[in-house]
Structure 1
Amino acid sequence: MSTAIIITTPDSEIVSSRIVNATIEQVFEAFSKPNHLKNWWGPAGFTNTFNEFDFIVGGKWNFVMHGPDKGNYANECEFIKIEKPSLIAWKRHSKPLFQVLFTFEELEKGKTKIVFKMLFDSVAECNKLKPYVTDKNEENFDKLENELKNVTA
């Protein structure tokens, strides 16, 4: 299986970013440790059950997101690039198919910029999700900011 990050154009990406009051190490830990990630991953009202979380390149991340509407959404992902503490990328093996690229940049001690890119093979695939996920990604960041209060890295 390929571990390359796909090359995209801006019209086949969904990009969200936020500056958080946390060190780059804290942010990386919130993403890389399942005991933190399960608490904040997903939009408002969603919870997670992690079945597998092998945080290495080629490692699997299988989980179920439980929606507030009582729906259960299976997710199967594979980590394709990890550069501690500045980058985490994975690709989804469950539909909808896309890659996720998170980058972290420490702006000053205790302040980190997070850029969240969803990368699609085509503009059409990107446009199917764009109307729904932009606001949901912001909810995800809201939950992350709350969880960062519990990260001591």
Structure 2
Amino acid sequence: MENPNDISKRILTLKRTFNVPVKTVWEAWTRPEHVAQWWGPKGMEVKVIQHEFKTGGHWKYVMLMPDGNEFISEGVYSEIIEFEKVVSSANFKPMTEGVILQALFEENGDKTNFTFSVIHPTEEYCKQQEKMGFYNGWGSAFDRLENFVASH
């Protein structure tokens, strides 16, 4: 019998190596003025509404859609280890709710190994999110992040 709590069946992960030091990637991920420059797919304007970067702190970003609608992403930080790890709950209304985001930052000389995972409440939900375009959506955002850190 399979364990319904098996995290390996509820997680989607993207890995990147950025050609900049870990401090640069960390600041791009944790400073609101930087987040607004890369969060979301190419061409999307992002407004940082709330950004309390501390354990228990809330974050809320709004992406302005071309049709005038707003796409809201928000959550609460549950674990922060400087230059290493950020864990947060996350809701991306109306598409994704009740997930956990985990961003890992690993120094690799003058480069940064970055691992981003989203943990879903169920295996079914995880599969649904993958089909909805998880890798393309986050991949596009991380392309923007890569361009942002390369220019700063």
Normalized against structure 2, the TM-score is what?
0.87
Contact 1:45 1:68 (8 Å CA) reproduced: no
Q: Specify the code of the residue in structure 1 equivalent to 2:115.
A: V
Deviation at 1:102, TM superposition (A): 0.2
Deviation at 1:114, TM superposition (A): 0.4
Deviation at 1:122, TM superposition (A): 0.6
Q: Work out the CA distance in 2 between the residues paired with 1:126 and 1:58.
A: 25
Q: Specify the code of the residue in structure 1 equivalent to 2:149.
A: L
SS in 2 for 1:79: strand
* Corresponding residue number in structure 2 for 1:98: 99
* Corresponding residue number in structure 2 for 1:25: 23
SS in 2 for 1:127: helix
Structure 2's unaligned 5+ residue stretches are none
Deviation at 1:8, TM superposition (A): 5.0
- 1:65-102 superposed Cα distances (whole Å, 9 cap, x missing partner): 12344431122211111000010111025542201000
Normalized against structure 1, the TM-score is what?
0.87
SS in 2 for 1:89: strand
Contact 2:19 2:150 (8 Å CA) reproduced: no
Q: Where in structure 2 are the equivalents of 1:2-151 lying within 5 Å?
A: 9-93=7-91, 95-108=96-109, 110-131=110-131, 132-151=133-152
Q: Call closer, same or farther: CA 1:45–1:69 in 2, change over 3 Å.
A: farther
Q: Work out the CA distance in 1 between the residues paired with 2:128 and 2:66.
A: 22
Q: Specify the code of the residue in structure 1 equivalent to 2:69.
A: G
Q: CA RMSD in A?
A: 1.6
Q: Work out the CA distance in 1 between the residues paired with 2:9 and 2:68.
A: 33
Structure 1's unaligned 5+ residue stretches are 1-6
Q: Work out the CA distance in 2 between the residues paired with 1:8 and 1:140.
A: 28
